[in-house]
Structure formats: C-alpha cells, structure tokens
Structure 1
Amino acid sequence: MDTNLLIGFGIVLAAYILILVAIGWYFNKKQRSVVDFWLAGRKLGAIPTGFATAASWITGGGILAVTAMYLLNGVGSIWFFAAPNVIALFLIGLLVTKIKSLPAITQPELLEQRYAGSIRGPVAIIITIVMIFFAAADISGLSLIFNVFFGIDPVWAAILIAVSVSVYVLLGGLSAVVWTDVIQYVLLAAITIFLAIAVIFAATDVSGLTMSQFLTTSQPSSWWNPFALGLPMVLIFCVAIMPGWISEQDQWQKVWATRDEKAARNGFFLGSFLMLLIFGISCCLLGLGLKFLYPDITDMMGAETALLRFITDNYGAPVIIAAALGLTAAAMSCTDTFATSGGSTISRDLYQRYIKPDATMKDLKVVNRVTVLIIIIGAVIVSFLPIDIIGFIHIATYIASAAYFFPLMGGLYWNRATKEGATVSLIVGGVAQISMVVIDLYMGATNGVYYLESLSPIMTGHGVIIGMSLSLISLVIVSLMTKKSSVYNLAPFFPKEAKKLERDEVSHVNENSEEYKAFQKVLQIEKSGERNQLQLDLKASAPLNWERFTDELKKSNEAWFSSTGRNNIYRLTHGDLLSCPVISRGENEQEIWISAEPRIDGTKIAHVEIFLAYQEIAALLKSMGIFTDFLEPKKKK
C-alpha cells in the first residue's frame, strides 16, 4: 500500500464529502414534511432530473463490468446491461403522464390505491430486498476499486461508502440525493471520457495505426456486430431485464418529484442520453482499447480490473486519485438513490401503514432516517456474498420483473385487474424467481453458465422468463375469476370510472362569507409547474385519537376514502387524485394538514373543495367535543 497515495486520496475524498454534506444540510433546512424529504417537494426540473436518473444507474462497479463485457464480447454485449438501461429510461419518459397523475410517494402505496387489500406489505418487502441488492452491487464495486488502487480491505471500503452516503442522505432526503447526483454525474463522466480517450490514444500508439484505422481494423467485424448474440438472445435479455428497470421504484419516485409532466419527460429523455454517453459510447471505447492493450485477458475477473490496471500502469498519484474519486462518486450516486427509495418503503409502507398509522410528521422524520441506515447496513452485509457486480444487479432486476412488474403495469392499464389477481401474481412470480435464483447460486456456474441456463436458453437469467410468465398468467386468470375493483380504486387510474364520481360543489359555497374569507387568508398557495400546491393547516383544541377521527370522517360522507390505511384520507370527488383534498397528520398530535395539488386551471374548484373538507372536519370534531382553528402559514426557511 502506498501510504502517501492513500493519504492524498483521503484528503480529496474528505473535501468532496464535505461538499455533499453541505448540500444535505442546505436541503435539511428546507424540509417540512415527508413529501419534502422523499419527493423533494415535487419541484424538480428537467436538468437535475436527467442527471440524477442517469447517475443513479451508473455505478463505479458497473463502469468496470460493462467495459469488461465489451472487452470480452464486443459490441454485442451491449444487450447484457447497457442497452436495457438506456431504453428503460427512455420508456419511463414515455410513461410519465400516467405515473405523474398519481399522487403516491412509493409504488406499494400506489398499488394499494389501485387494489386495496393487503398487497402493500409484500410489495414493500420485495422492493426493500431489490434496493438492498442494487446498493450491494455499488459497495462491491467500490471495494474492488479501493483494493486495486490502495490495497484497502473490502470491509473498510464498505464502511467508508456507508458512512459517507448516510450522512448527506439523512440530512437532505431526495433533494440532497438529486443535487449530489448532478455533481457526481459530472465528475464520473469527466473521468470516464478522459480515460476512454487516453486508452484509445495509448492503443493507437502501440499499434502504429491512425485513429480511424484502429477503430475499423484493430478487431474483426464481428466485434462490432450489435446482434452477434443472435436476435433470440437479444430479445430474451430485453424481456428479462427491461421490465424490472422500467418498474423500478427509485425512478418512479423521481417522476413524482418533478414539478410537472414536461420536466419529468424531458428529464428522463436527457437521462437516457447521458446513460448512452457513458455505457454505450465511453465504455465501448474503453473495452476496444483495453482489448488491444491487454490481449492476455480472457476471463471476467481480469477484464473487470483491466481499466484499473491501465491507470496504475500509466499514471501517477494525481490521475489515480481523480479516477478513484470519479468511480467513488459513481458508487455513491447509486447507493444514495437506492437507500432513499428502499428506506421510503420501510418507513411509509411498513411502519406507518401497519405499525403506527397515527405517526406524526415529526415521528416519520426520525423513522425516515433510521430506515435509510437499515438499507445501507443491509447492503454492506449482502455485498460480501460471493456474487459479482453485475450478478447483484441482475438478481435484483429479475426479482422485480417477475414479482411486481405485471401487478403494477396491469393495475395502471387494465381495469379488470383485481387485488386477488395482483396478490397471487406477486406471490407466484416472486417465490418462483427467488427459488430459481437460489437453485442457480447453489448449483453454481460452469464456464460462466449457470445450471438453469445449461438446461435451456429460455432459462437464461436465472429463469426469469418462466417467473414472469407465471406472474402474468396468475394475474389474468385470477383477476377474471374475481370481482372487479371498486370505483373508488379505479377512478384515479381510468377516466371512464372517474366520471361516476364527479360532483359540482362550487355553487354550494358562499365565497363572500366571513368564514370563507378567513380561510382564504391562511390557505398556502405555491406554484409548481403546471400545478399549484395548496395547503391548509388546522389545530385541534385537544390531542386527536387519529383512528377514531378518520373512521368517523369516512362514515360522515362517502366522499372521504382511503385505500392506504389511515395515514392519508382523500376527499375523492373526481378522478384526478392529486387535485383532491387529502388530510394527514401534522407535526404533532393536534395538527391536521389538508392539501391538494390541482392543475392551475382547476385551482378555484380546489379552493372550494379544501374549504368543504375543512367544514366537514370541523363539524365532526365539534361533535366529539373538540374545536379547530386555522394555523398561520409557517415562513419558509
């Protein structure tokens, strides 16, 4: 170990982490609610969204692994990992209109809104497992980088990234994650592009060829064939990988965090391009140059360290430190995203939904931070399993594809899907896929081919095609055999169902009354893209029994509805759930928050609906011997 090199890197890394912590601290001061923590206040623009979506899927280990695949297999290996990444981000961009219209914070919450029933808990558990495996891939890759560059034991590398990421994510939530990801993408892109150019120039110097000659003649034409695997295998990999990535919780969370559909769509299209720049172009050039420079490399282990070998063979401390920092930034940019996303499912979908439905915002702020630590610690432990970097990512993706892709997408686009069908689909697909992964890991691989794949090409990817098929068949058959979902569950997802709920309530309110004028003075209004964020804060004269209060509220008027436990109760009067008033716990046991996010042209109606919601809440509490008053808007920090 070069002690001076390690000390130099430590100083640079410490300075870099301080910058990230400062960003986390800045956004911590702006937080008021869990929406601020988990969804950045729904105010993200296209540019930060684009950089964050790309950075959150570009790991340090992923750069090494993708480069290694190009080195060993040529451009055809793009279908193993790179192309599905790029295409998945682009496809999410095409789906943002549907995703953005639904006011969820997590996918399990979304599925409970669609199906009701008990599906939320199992989905939350599966997503937590998936996020831990994704984060483990980042930690595993960083351990390899630190071991080659500095001789650091993998345990210390894992601890380093865990502590670093925890600090700034715990402070700033998704806002900190997004803006640190922007910095991290710029850093990792600069380093990767620099190394790609350096490797190609080194290869041309050794070969004595011009740049154009090297690119066209240094490898056989088959190396450049993107379909060298054969079209059937290309289709198998796309079907196996892309569904899991399209339905990935962390990217949907970014859609919900954007200020409007345009920002979300353009952000994901930008992210797709930025991903292509690294995985599709830079890594390909790295693989091409390294294959010529190190013709002795024939196995994945050697190929994964080829880039690190090139750096240590050709450069001194400044470049090694810069490269290490860039690859560390890539690892952090993914780990923070998966920790935030996985943590949200534990705190909101397990703790608040099943353990403490009456948790206040103050309670959740504490739990949010604990759950992030749980994900990071879990990822550190899992990272020591004998699985390679891409192996971790593929296993997590296959479980997601087989378990909840069809319940999720079926719920969004097929109104006949039922909670029974979704639950059976989730269980059958998830159990089948996890079982096949266990079988493959137990039986091991021969010459890089796992046991199930050796039986048949259709079993490639730990049999994920079989797992997905079982999930789809289960969803369709069981749904057709069971009762159609309630109109209250279907309305936010399907316009035809929503028309059954529409009401004209504007004419029932006297906007010139003193009560309405007082209400207007304390209603908080903030423009966010194509919508306005409205919030009214109430204070009860005594602590509330939240369970009794919400139960009685739903009995008082059929418009009050919740498919997601007692933590969020909607006054559902039309299909745009974001525009409907929703009540939640405030900072303490006496505060009630009423909020809505109507489109700008529907803001007047939303004002009336929030006012009616306030009147109904006040009347109910008065009957219980509790009085309410408006809280003055809090000044933003």
Structure 2
Amino acid sequence: MDGYNIFIVLLAVYIAGLVAIGWYFNKKQKSVTDFWLAGRRIGPSALGFSAAASWLTAGGILAVIGYYMLQGMGSIWAFVAPNILALLIIALLVGKIKNLPAITQPELLEQRYGSAVRWPIALIITVVMILFAVADVTGFSLVLQVFYGVDPLYAAAIVAIAVSLYVTMGGLSAVVWTDVVQFAFLSIFTIAMAFAAVGTVADGGLNTPAISSSELFGNVSYDWWNPLSIGIPMVLIFVFAIIPGWITEQDPWQKVWAAKDAKSARLGMVFGSLMITVVFAACAVIAIAFNNIYPDIAGMGFPAGMAQAEPALLAFVSERFVSAPLIVALSAIGLAAASMSCADTFATSGASCISRDIFQRYIKPDATMKEMLVVNRISVLIIVLAATAGSFVIPNIIDAIHIATFIASASYFFPLMGGLYWKRATKEGAFAGMVVGFVVQVTLVSLDLIKTPPMAANYLESVHPALMSHGVIVGMGLSAIAFFGVSLMTKPSSRINLAPFFEEEAEELAHYEAREIDEKDPTYGAFLKNVDEKVAGERAHLQLNLRASGALSWHELVEKLKSSSPAWVTPTGLDSVYRLTHGDMLACVTVTRGSEERDIWLKAEPRLETVGRQKKELFTAYEELKKVLGQKGVNLDFY
C-alpha cells in the first residue's frame, strides 16, 4: 500500500471516530442549550483542550515556525503572544461573561442594545469566522499538496464533509470533545517533530554538518532570543491590533458559557494558554533546528523568505521520512487534526449566527429545533466553501488570520466590551461603531491587498508606520470615536436592555414574583416528576418538555403570554420569551420552540440556593402557558 492510500485509510478511521463522538452527543440533546452550549456542563480540562485546539491551526503552526526561522522571538507578537495573552484575559473576564443569558454574541448585543444591532454583528462575525477558516483550508491544502500532490479543492472537501457531519450532529459537545482528540494528535506531532528535527541535526542528516544539541542551541544569537527585537512601537501595535479582536471572538465566549461554572471556565482558559505555550515552544525548537538544516531560507529574510519558510516543516517530513510512508501519513493526520479542530469551531460560531441570529430571528421566528439544525448544517458547508474560495484570494496563512482579527477588532470590540461595562452605551452608538469600524477596516485591507506586490511589505506600511497591520489602529480609532460620540449624543438605553448586564437595573425592573404554591398539591407533585433537573457547578438546569395537542401559532402564543402578565418579555425577539421575575436573568424561566412543530421547551438555570423557588416559578410559567393555550382549545402534555 502506497503512502497516499495509507493516509486515506487512517483519515477514514479518524473521521469515523469524530463522527461517532458527534453521534453519541446527538442522542443526549434535549434542548437548545444542549446543542449550542453543550448543556453548560463542560469541565476545566476539556475546556482547556478545546480552547487550545481551537486557536492552533495547521496553517498557524506552519506559519509560526516560518516566523521563528526568519525573525526569531521578535515574531511572537504577530501570533504567539496574542494567543496566550488573549486566553488569559478572557479568564479574567469570565465573571462578567458567564452569567449573561445568551447563546451567541449577536443575541447578547440585542439584549443590550435592541434588534438594530443583531443582524449586522451576526453578518460581521460570519465574515470573520470565514476568514479564520481560510487559514485552516489553506494550511491543510498545503499539507496534502506537499505530501501527496492533492488538489486544494479535495482538502476543502475533506474538511467540509468531516466537520459538517460531526458538528451538526453533536453540536458544541462534539466540538469540545473532538477538540480534545485533535489537540492530542497535534501536540504529539509537534513535539515529535521537535525531537526529529534536533535529532537530524545531531546525526548530520539531510546533508547537514553534525553538531550536538548544546552546540545547536548555543549558536543561536542574542537577537534571535530577544522578544523585543522588532521594537517597542511594533510590539504595542501588534498587541492593540490583535488582542482586542481575539478576546471578543465568539467561539471562546461560547465555551465560557458552556463551562459548568465560572471556576471551570477560568481554569480552562488558563489551562488552554499553558498548552498553547508548550506547542509554540516546540515550534521554536523546530525553527532553531531548521535554520541549520535550511540555512538558505533563514538568509532570505522577512517577508521574502515566508514562501519557503511556511512549508519548511512539510518539506522536512517529506525528505526525512521518505522511506517511512506511515510516519508521513501520521504527520498528515496530525496536521489534519489541527485544521479540523479550528474549522469546526469557526464553522460552529458562524453557523450559529446564520441559523439562530439571522434565520430564526428575522426569517422564521417560529422555527423548530429540527429546522434550525438543517439550516445549521447547510451553513457549515457554506462557511467552508466560502473559506475555500477565500484561500485562493488570501494565500498567506497568517495574513488570513490577521485580516479576520483586524476586522473583528475594528468592528465590534468597543460595542461589545463597552456594552458590558458602560451603562451609557446606546444602540445608535453601537451600530455606528460597528458599521464605521467594519467599512473602514475592510476598505483598508482591500487597498492593502490590491496595492501590495507579492511577498513584499504591505503597501500601507510604506505610506505611514501608523497604517501597519492593514491600518487596524485607524479602523479601531474611528470605531471608538463613532461608538462613544454617538452614544453620548443619543438617548440612554432602556432599563430592560440594561437588566441582563447590570444587576441593580434588573432588580429595579423585576417586581413580579411567583404566586404562592402549595408543595403538597398533587398537581405540583406530578409536575415536578416531569422536570428534568441536572446540576452543573453553581447552577441547576431545569428543563420541561411539553407537546401541544393541536397546531401552534407561535406568534399568537407569544403575544398572548405577554398580554397575560407584564412579567413576560421578549428582549431578543419572539424566539425566546423570558418571565422576568428577578435580577438574575439566566435563572428566569424561558420559553422556546422544541424539536417538532407542536413542541414547547421551558427552561431555567437558577443558582443552587434558589432551585426550590425557581421550580415554583417554572410551575407558574407552565400554568400560565397552559391557560393561554387552553383559551384556543389546545392542551399540553409532558414528554
């Protein structure tokens, strides 16, 4: 069996394992939260593996090694350091993020500002996720091209089919647990290659003079080790250009929401940053060895040498293990794992924006969970296909990642973070900040791509140093001016928009208490037997699945609920109806559509000390729902 057939067999086994994980979690899903947030039951270890795997692309690994070869430790600010620092900063923000009652960032921003901002942020996030996925498709295409001469379209097809199968079956649970497997493959591969590269230099393989490991590392110059060799101004520009976009990415926020408690989310992010550090350290060792094995590449300098430096690891594997096709195939699987672990995360985030924040919110508010999953599956394929097309326009791996990051930083850093911490932020300010930042940044990126010759320094950098990194500092600056300026000139947000983010506002708003319930009432006892209760960290998850005896008009049902009691509100549209009874909105009862046309789901996520009260609140909501439907001659049954 030749090397390519060995790879195909191993890949089939690997994908089958991922699909099996997706199938397993598909059987355990009973709610929207189960699909999009893994039931909020993810522990710190799995979360750490997933956070690390989601930010380590195959293309990213190849590019980081190339950067190390050409620029040494000074290059860490372009990718490595922001990866590590962003996860640590998110760990600090966990306390604010974790208890927000949302599944996606566009939904969160609608709660904060109103419906005017949900669709633009959903579209922007989808664009950003596609651009991030470009790096995965490009990296995996490069792997198959160098190893086996496979056309890039086949690489995209492999990623699209595999990811769409296990993600759309198992949701975020499948993403997280396949990420655990994928990070194991990636880290083992990277560390093994570090040993192989150093061993090759020590043995004098690939026509290099044999030197000991101590000589290899001892010969590295001080400038190579100096992380500030690019200069403090450049360091600051990279930090302010990249980190804001990465700490506001939707995918790590979804994983924070998916954690079983704040402590697990915080530990997971810290754990993820440590694991990323280990992999990047192995990349540095590989680069030091490669500078001895391929001295001509190191002498080409940056950026001219990146065309040869990025695929240097692939060339090494092909040359070093030419007589060991199994090792080459396993290397390809390791890099395929890196591609899929990121592509599944980006596809999940982007598809959730399309299916939940655009399709269900604006096109079909009464969409069932089954319909949403169909749209979600199609959306995953669209995102990967769009990323494939983008890979032919943006062939540079790190540039694709940077462009996505800069658009994110300029578009929604200020509206998102400002909304969390600044009460005076308004929907007009948020909309202005997003639109101005997005339009300016996309314009600057397009201008840079059109005007920059191949493998040359970016055009905007030659105009003025402040315009480096595709002018993102300008884009962010104009976004900030629009956000803060327009917010101060417009009417403050309403209390119902401020309630999920500032508890004192929620307490002022929520005066409606559950009616008194007799715990000995047999009706209440029968009700409790049908409530699915699970404990995850400091909260309990209460879920009640109901089926109507007749056809449902969701719009009419929601409007009648809202007119029956002022406690019922729809801060994010008709798809989710909250019974706002106290300041902790995550604990409030929420009514959503179920899987089928006649299914209705009620859920609440109270803190453990308030579970008893919230069970009564859930019963009150159930009784009010039953009364409203009873007026139309429709009964409710448990299932």
Q: Equivalences for 1:593-632 in 2 at 5 Å?
A: 593-622=601-630, 624-632=631-639
SS in 1 for 2:370: helix
> Following the alignment from structure 2 to structure 1, what is the Cα–Cα distance between the partners of residues 344 and 195?
29
SS in 1 for 2:12: helix
Counterpart of 2:342 in structure 1 is: 334
Counterpart of 2:369 in structure 1 is: 361
Q: Does 1:448 align with 2:429?
A: no
Q: Does 1:214 align with 2:250?
A: no
Task: Compute the displacement of 1:44 (Å).
Answer: 1.0
> Following the alignment from structure 2 to structure 1, what is the Cα–Cα distance between the partners of residues 187 and 552?
52
Counterpart of 1:142 in structure 2 is: 140
Counterpart of 2:73 in structure 1 is: 75
Counterpart of 2:257 in structure 1 is: 256
Counterpart of 1:437 in structure 2 is: 445
SS in 1 for 2:533: strand
> Following the alignment from structure 1 to structure 2, what is the Cα–Cα distance between the partners of residues 446 and 48?
41
Q: Does 1:284 align with 2:281?
A: no
> Following the alignment from structure 2 to structure 1, what is the Cα–Cα distance between the partners of residues 213 and 548?
74
Counterpart of 1:179 in structure 2 is: 177
Cα contact 2:175–2:345 (8 A) shared by 1 = yes
Q: Deviations over 1:367-408 (max 9, x none)?
A: 222222221222122222143111111111110000011111
Cα contact 2:125–2:408 (8 A) shared by 1 = yes
SS in 1 for 2:395: coil
> Following the alignment from structure 1 to structure 2, what is the Cα–Cα distance between the partners of residues 398 and 150?
34
Paired amino acid for 1:72: L
Q: Deviations over 1:550-606 (max 9, x none)?
A: 122222222211121100010112221110000011233333221100011111121
1:427 aligned residue (435, 452, 468): 435
Distance change (3 Å), C-alpha of 1:254 and 1:51: same
Task: Compute the displacement of 1:146 (Å).
Answer: 1.0
Counterpart of 2:29 in structure 1 is: 31
Task: Compute the displacement of 1:507 (Å).
Answer: 6.5
Distance change (3 Å), C-alpha of 1:378 and 1:254: same
Identity %: 52
Distance change (3 Å), C-alpha of 1:539 and 1:208: closer
Cα contact 2:461–2:467 (8 A) shared by 1 = yes
Task: Compute the displacement of 1:523 (Å).
Answer: 2.0
Paired amino acid for 1:223: W
Paired amino acid for 1:529: G
Cα contact 2:458–2:470 (8 A) shared by 1 = yes
Paired amino acid for 2:294: Y
1:475 aligned residue (483, 487, 495): 483
Distance change (3 Å), C-alpha of 1:571 and 1:226: same
Where structure 2 has 5 or more consecutive residues not aligned to the other structure, the ranges are none
| TM-score, normalization by structure 1 | 0.95
Q: Deviations over 1:597-629 (max 9, x none)?
A: 00111111211211221222223333x333433
> Following the alignment from structure 1 to structure 2, what is the Cα–Cα distance between the partners of residues 131 and 96?
22
Task: Compute the displacement of 1:263 (Å).
Answer: 1.3
| TM-score, normalization by structure 2 | 0.95
2:115 aligned residue (117, 142, 145): 117
1:19 aligned residue (17, 27, 30): 17
Counterpart of 1:96 in structure 2 is: 94
Paired amino acid for 2:163: V
Paired amino acid for 2:616: V
SS in 2 for 1:74: helix
Cα contact 1:136–1:392 (8 A) shared by 2 = yes
> Following the alignment from structure 1 to structure 2, what is the Cα–Cα distance between the partners of residues 347 and 82?
32
> Following the alignment from structure 1 to structure 2, what is the Cα–Cα distance between the partners of residues 507 and 136?
54
> Following the alignment from structure 2 to structure 1, what is the Cα–Cα distance between the partners of residues 557 and 490?
33
Counterpart of 1:274 in structure 2 is: 275
Paired amino acid for 1:275: I
Paired amino acid for 1:626: G
Paired amino acid for 1:304: E
How many pairs were matched up?
A: 627
> Following the alignment from structure 2 to structure 1, what is the Cα–Cα distance between the partners of residues 237 and 145?
35
Q: Deviations over 1:71-110 (max 9, x none)?
A: 0001110111010001101111111121110121110001
> Following the alignment from structure 2 to structure 1, what is the Cα–Cα distance between the partners of residues 156 and 585?
42
> Following the alignment from structure 2 to structure 1, what is the Cα–Cα distance between the partners of residues 515 and 319?
78
User: For the aligned residues, what is the CA RMSD?
Assistant: 1.6
> Following the alignment from structure 1 to structure 2, what is the Cα–Cα distance between the partners of residues 381 and 447?
21
Task: Compute the displacement of 1:502 (Å).
Answer: 4.1
> Following the alignment from structure 1 to structure 2, what is the Cα–Cα distance between the partners of residues 573 and 213?
69
